[in-house]
Amino acid sequence: MFDLISQAFDRPLNVLQMARPPNIEDGLREQDAAEPGAHRPLEDIVTAPVSWSYADPDDKAAIVKALTGQDVLVGAVFTREMGLSADSLKMIALPAAGFEKIASDAVPEGCVVVNAYEHEAPIAEWVMMAAEVLDHEVLKADRLLRQNDWGMWIFRRPPYRELFGRTMGVIGLGHIGRRVLKLARAYDMRLIAVTRTPPSADEAREMGLAWVGDQSQLGDLMSEADFIAVTTPQLPSTEGLVGEHEISLMKPDAYIINPARGPIIEETALYEALRDRRIGGAAIDVWWTYPSGPNDHTTRPSKYPFHELDNVLMTPHISGGTYGTSERRSRIVAENIDRFHRGEPLINVVSELSRV
């Protein structure tokens, strides 16, 4: 989406990155760029004249101090303290999709907020991987065979199920939700969805949806789907969206897969349903608790022992962290910086946060 025309600049932009500066000594940047998965930093992609500054993302005091005099901030966090020192900030460019860490009341007047998606391909792949791993009991089969236990052998157990013909339900039809539907359709799954703003009948048919509704029909989706992918953003209206009642509507052999944000699902309700085996299982990539900093290696992702359950697939918020996501997001951020300098329409304006 292209939106919002700003005033062109006749001087270099002052841009602060919440990142450590790239290593350009002894040609290391060129050498690293040849490594598998490496991508060019923003400094090599932006074409507009820019005066670059950097602040360690783990040093809050340094970020606050460095914001003075900056036109653009590249980062996914913006606090009230940062807002007080942002005396000339005109754009916050998130190198990510989620904007729940941007304090809306801290964004200065006249400042636009833009974000970057580009993570839907790997996250959708993670969703389908999780569906297969859970449903085909891959982890159990791997664990037993490593112990020379052939209990999962096809000749020693009943046949297991397949994704073919089963129902994939998607909560949220943004970039990720639509990509999940595209992949699930390739598995010949039946597709259903709920979203805040349902698409037209023609769009729904193009996506292969059996039906699509608004959030008032969430209960129908929860009771009908064999796999439920949570792909809606975290907003005040979506926190706790999937709670005890919604989970109670799930089939006893259904799975819920969450690559979105932890608080969208009620923590206690999910844990108890899994512990008591009232649902088939869950794949969780996003959590309710995260490390406090780079040296915190002891924080558990939940107040509950999900790690003790054998019907849960746990990953540490990795589903979108691919080489491709990083490269594509850098290009979106760079494009917005260039457009902002030229006074052209911007990409992915977050209207909920922008104050222009």
pLDDT digits (tens, 9 = 90+) for 5-34: 667 899 999 999 998 887 644 344 444 444
Q: Do 211 and 225 fall into the same domain? A: yes
Three-state SS at 298: coil
Q: Residue 58's CB: how many other CB atoms inside 10 A? A: 13
180, 124 Cβ separation under 8 angstroms: yes
Q: How many domains does the chain have?
A: 2
Of 310 and 39, the structure prediction assigns the larger pLDDT to 310
Q: Do 289 and 328 fall into the same domain? A: no
Q: Do 132 and 246 fall into the same domain? A: yes
pLDDT digits (tens, 9 = 90+) for 277-293: 999 999 999 999 999 98
For 161, 204, 243, 251, 336, the CA distances from 74, given in Å and listed in that order, are 46, 36, 35, 44, 11
Q: Residue 180's CB: how many other CB atoms inside 10 A? A: 30
Q: Do 112 and 175 fall into the same domain? A: no
Of 98 and 178, the structure prediction assigns the larger pLDDT to 178
Instruction: Find the domain containing 87 and state its range.
Output: 2-118+322-347
Query: What per-residue confidence (pLDDT) applies to 22?
Result: 73
Q: Classify residue 356: in a domain, yes or no.
A: no
CATH number for the domain spanning 235: value is 3.40.50.720
Three-state SS at 7: coil
Distance CA 333, CA 59 (A): 22
Query: What per-residue confidence (pLDDT) applies to 1?
Result: 46
Q: Do 96 and 176 fall into the same domain? A: no
Q: What is the pLDDT averaged over residues 189-211?
A: 96
What does DSSP say about strands 281-284 and 91-93: parallel, antiparallel, or unpaired?
Answer: unpaired
Query: What per-residue confidence (pLDDT) applies to 27?
Result: 41
227, 168 Cβ separation under 8 angstroms: yes
Distance CA 90, CA 108 (A): 8
Q: What is the pLDDT averaged over residues 332-340?
A: 97
Q: Classify residue 352: in a domain, yes or no.
A: no
158, 210 Cβ separation under 8 angstroms: no
Share of the chain above pLDDT 70, in %: 94
Of 127, 132, 156, the C-alpha closest to 144 is 156
pLDDT confidence tier of residue 37, bands split at 50, 70 and 90 = low
Handedness of CA 47, 49, 51, 55 (dihedral sign): negative
Residue that is written with structure tokens 């996003």 in the block = 286
Quote the distance between the C-alpha of residue 332 and its chain's center. 16
